[in-house]
Amino acid sequence: MKKLPTWIDILLIPLINLAIALFLSALVVLYIGEDPMDALSIMIKGAIGSSYGWGYTLYYATNFIFTGLAVSVAFHAKMFNIGGEGQAALGGLGVALVCLMFPWPHWILALPVAIIGGAVFGAAWAAIPAYLQAKRGSHIVITTIMFNFMASALLVYLLVNVLKAPGSMAPETGRFIEGARLPTGHDMLGWFGIKFSKSPPVNISFLISLLFCFFIWFLIWRTKLGYEIRAFGHSESAAKYAGISPIKIIMVSMLISGALAGLMGINSVMGESERLVIDSVQGAGFIGIAVALMGRSHPFGVLLAAILFGILYQGGAELALWTNIPRELIVVIQALVILLTGALDNMIRMPIERLYFKMVRAGT
């Protein structure tokens, strides 16, 4: 049985997928009547050409790291958690409740509790679909989609009827108090005397997300639970042979997945808007799917893919500002990445495999 070397599998193929996605997107740009190379350079300059750009890029990347990790953990157990959007929305609610409920004297105290709040609410929103999958075999993809819509309805209801700040017209909570606001990139680098743009929303959550990349890597590859999750994901029957309970693995992996999606709230709700607004997730839950697919469900891959998508998002915003190319270009790129890496993998992989083995044979 022959196999491709690892570097082709985890590096070359994703890059080829990305290249094809970008090439197809370039055709769209060309069709719109803009120069793709110009567009690319505006995007890159806008995203990583200044501390302002970096500040936004990393802010977006932080969201995508959390949701990408969420999808990855579920993928390891062979679950497709498409409900990151709803779990992140609930996570945002949990974070907001923590921030609003107590008169926090300092963010150092507020942040750990907010992390717990976001994680618990996110996990809770994943719990019912997980339970129904584990116990009753209800397809997790469909139930998590349904829970996304329920989450959105629930949050609208709460923001309109319950949590709306008194006297405000907009359906959003009041601004969090000083002690529940997170230090931004500007603040943090300021402690070391480094100048950084004041306006972008990147904040300490980025460092937390890096920490979670490490935690998840550790969980998946260094703990017994991770070992069992991976074993279950590769072969349910073998896992059963080894005495691993399918119900436990489905529940635990989905709860972790939901918690990770919920953690996004500390970045978007506590870090950026500093209040709970309607649709605080902005599609990041779905981008997590693209990020996880591209990062091959490995936390390091997720980190790189999240930064890449951060660049695309910030670059896309710049592009919309300076050219006639709407922001939605990034949605197209994202769709193509998901399609190519997730569903059309065989289309790319099979020719590469053939080519590689031909070269190997010619070489020997």
Partner 1 sequence: MTKDKQERPETAAPAIQLKNISKSFGPVQANKNISLTVNSGTIHGIVGENGAGKSTLMSILYGFYKADSGDIYIRNAKTSIPDSQAAISAGIGMVFQHFKLVENFTVLENVILGAEDGALLKDSLSKARRQLQELSTEYELDVDPDAIIENLSVGLQQRVEILKALYRRANILILDEPTGVLTPAEADHLFRILKNLRDQGKTVILITHKLREIMDATDTVSVMRSGEMTATIKTNQTSPEKLAELMVGRKVLLNVSKSVAKAGDIALEVKDLKVTDEKGVLRVKGITFNVREGEILGIAGVAGNGQSELLEALGGFRKSQGLVSVYGHSLDLESPSGQEIRDQSIAHVPEDRQRLGLIMDFTAWENIGFGYQHEPEYSNSWGLMNNRKMRKDASNKMEKFDVRPSNIKLKVRNFSGGNQQKLVLAREIERNPDILLIGQPTRGVDIGAIEFIHNEIIKMRDEGKAIILVSVELDEILSLTDRVSVMFDGNLVGDRITRETNARELGLLMGGETD
Partner 2 sequence: MIDFDTLLQVLDSSVRLSIPLLLACLAGLFSERAGIFDIGLEGKMLASAFAAGAAAFVTGSALIGMLAGIFASIILSAVHGVASITFKGNQLISGVAINFLASGLTALIGQNWFRQGGQTPPLSGSARFNEITLPLAELLRDVPIFGKIYYELISGHTLLVYIAFLIVPLTWWILFRTRFGLRLRAVGENPAAVDTSGISVVRQRYAAILICGILCGLAGAYLSTGIGAGFGKEMTAGKGFIALAALIFAKWKPVPALWACLLFGFLEAIGIRFQNIEIPGVGTIPLQLMQALPYILTVIILAGFVGKAIPPKAGGEPYNKE
User: CA-CA distance, 104 to 50, in Å (whole number)?
Assistant: 34
Do 9 and 295 contact (CB within 8 A), yes or no? Answer: no
Task: Mark 153-182 with x for binding to partner 2 (rule: CB under 8 A) and - for no binding.
Answer: xx-xx--xx---------------------
User: CA-CA distance, 89 to 262, in Å (whole number)?
Assistant: 7
Q: Which of the stretches 116-124, 225-233, 281-289, 322-330 binds partner 1 when contact is defined by CB under 8 A?
A: 225-233
In whole angstroms, the minimum distance from the beta carbon of 235 to partner 1 comes to 6
Interface with partner 2 includes 102 (CB under 8 A)?
no
- Whose Cβ is closer to partner 2: residue 17's or residue 203's? 17
In whole angstroms, the minimum distance from the beta carbon of 214 to partner 2 comes to 27
End-to-end CA distance of the chain: 17
Neighbouring-strand partners of residue 184:
203
Interface with partner 2 includes 18 (CB under 8 A)?
no
Q: How many CB atoms are located within 10 Å of the residue 289 CB?
A: 25
Interface with partner 1 includes 235 (CB under 8 A)?
yes
Do 262 and 235 contact (CB within 8 A), yes or no? Answer: no
Give which of 71, 13, 6, 8 is closest to 297, Cα–Cα.
71
User: CA-CA distance, 169 to 156, in Å (whole number)?
Assistant: 14
Three-class SS of residue 204?
Answer: coil
User: CA-CA distance, 351 to 359, in Å (whole number)?
Assistant: 12
Interface with partner 1 includes 230 (CB under 8 A)?
yes
Do 202 and 272 contact (CB within 8 A), yes or no? Answer: no
Q: Which does residue 6 bind out of partner 1, partner 2, none, counting CB within 5 to 8 angstroms by kind?
A: none
Do 218 and 34 contact (CB within 8 A), yes or no? Answer: no
Interface with partner 1 includes 234 (CB under 8 A)?
yes
Give the max Cα distance, the chain. 78
Interface with partner 2 includes 136 (CB under 8 A)?
yes
Interface with partner 2 includes 48 (CB under 8 A)?
no
Q: Which does residue 227 bind out of partner 2, partner 1, none, counting CB within 5 to 8 angstroms by kind?
A: partner 1
Give which of 306, 331, 302, 304 is closest to 316, Cα–Cα.
331
The one-character DSSP state at 194 is -
Interface with partner 2 includes 328 (CB under 8 A)?
yes
Q: Which of the stretches 26-34, 44-52, 212-220, 257-265 binds partner 2 when contact is defined by CB under 8 A?
A: 26-34
Q: In this chain, which of 1, 6, 33, 103 binds partner 2, going by CB under 8 A?
A: 33
Q: Give the DSSP letter string of 325-355.
A: --TTHHHHHHHHHHIIIIISHHHHHHHHHHH
In whole angstroms, the minimum distance from the beta carbon of 354 to partner 1 comes to 18
Interface with partner 2 includes 237 (CB under 8 A)?
no
- Whose Cβ is closer to partner 1: residue 168's or residue 235's? 235
Interface with partner 2 includes 30 (CB under 8 A)?
no
Interface with partner 1 includes 318 (CB under 8 A)?
no
Interface with partner 1 includes 135 (CB under 8 A)?
no
Type of residue numbered 123: A
In whole angstroms, the minimum distance from the beta carbon of 10 to partner 1 comes to 13
Contacting residues toward partner 2, per CB under 8 A: 28, 31-33, 80, 82, 128, 132, 136, 138-139, 141-143, 145-147, 149-150, 153-154, 156-157, 160-161, 286, 289, 293, 324-326, 328-336, 338-339, 342-347
Contacting residues toward partner 1, per CB under 8 A: 1, 3, 222-228, 230-231, 234-235, 237-238, 240-245
